[in-house]
Chains A and B, each alone.
Chain A
């Protein structure tokens, strides 16, 4: 094994308290530096899987991040390493100013205030929003909010970036900016999306979920070439 596996999921099943089975025996391995698109119709279990990646859901110890079991005592480490960016920026940004939002994660790592400031500046520069520190989140455009959301996890120096629908509700230019931004950022990325164009543009590998099961995992072009397969899973 030459390439390090950063995410290892072994036969993960999960059902919600109301009995809905959201995931059935999903296994998944992701190597360092891979950019993987996780696609599937509405209700396929994408978001549930995503919430397992940094231990919002951790029931049965079947997930390993960077070789560490997803357990209570490892949560702090794992949450630093896995940066989750949620779909709705109004959920992700909850502080009075952009600065405080981007600093939130970094401050939770008990860094010194100067280091926090450095990281915030760096993260905002990376998403092209330098100088927005003292704006309020509700004064930003939707595209800007999306980019600040990405900055909030960049400031934590996460090794694995997990994004839920990074391009939803964006205009074409906004989408293009997000694609360019994500391409620039090194490291492992897992992108949950319906946007097949985004997946094609950014990811070499695609994982398809359908009704809680993994139904395909492989080269993006090969999978997208199979029109009948996509249609049968509500993706085309």
Chain B
């Protein structure tokens, strides 16, 4: 079975794809930090961040529709958490708008918090999607490794990425085997079978983990983390990284 749901489009060729992973990690991380530190009233600032991101997205040739669809996976959760904030009465004085139904009121301070959380998380999510859809996962890991992220995290992420596909396949096969034997019926029975499947999956993964460890030890693994090799920064990387960071800092400083 073929899967590509994590870093789809990362195999394209574009100026953004050709940048070193470190450049992209650094620039986008900087964007997220600066965006989070911006006060919610600085509308122009957010517009600036959006424009920067949009330029990068256009340059990367990743379909805009794909990026927006991906962001829909996260944004509803953000809305779910924050949707009630505008209805909460603030401690201090503040303007409010009556909705006219059952005395419900919306407070402008709450509305500001809602906007604040929404816009910042949206920008952060867009950045992460841009990063993952312009960088193959292996290069991303190597970038993090070269940025001195502790090896254990790199290994964890690498194994997760490698085996999530194996597990998905395994679940698919189990489901198929189950359905082939006329599975169906009442909910209670349903839940029992699903529980058993989860248990089986856990045991299989556990045993697989042991086999993988044996395969690693046989090839001389001694507990040090896996090194994924080096990549070279080019002039373009330095230019883009300095350009992006200074532009962001400028935006942040210029707009109060």
Contact = CB atoms under 8 A, between A and B. Distances in A.
B174 interface: no
Nearest to B4: A139
A100 B220 contact: no
B239 interface: no
B138 A104 contact: no
B138 A105 contact: no
Interface string A96-118: 11011001110111000100100
A79 B230 CA distance: 26
Contact of A138 (B3, B136, B138): B3
B228 interface: yes
Interface residues of B, number: 30
Interface residues of A, number: 37
A133 B91 CA distance: 61
Provide the main secondary structure of the chain A interface. Answer: helix
Contacts of A103: 229
B218 A100 contact: no
A60 B229 CA distance: 38
A19 B159 CA distance: 33
A20 to B, nearest CB: 16
Contact of B159 (A56, A94, A107): A94
A82 B218 CA distance: 8
B208 interface: yes
A8 interface: no
Interface of A: 51, 54, 56, 76, 79-80, 82-84, 86, 88, 90-97, 99-100, 103-105, 107-109, 113, 116, 134, 136-139, 152-153, 156
11 contacts: A79-B220, A83-B219, A84-B218, A86-B215, A94-B162, A94-B212, A95-B228, A96-B158, A100-B138, A113-B230, A156-B219
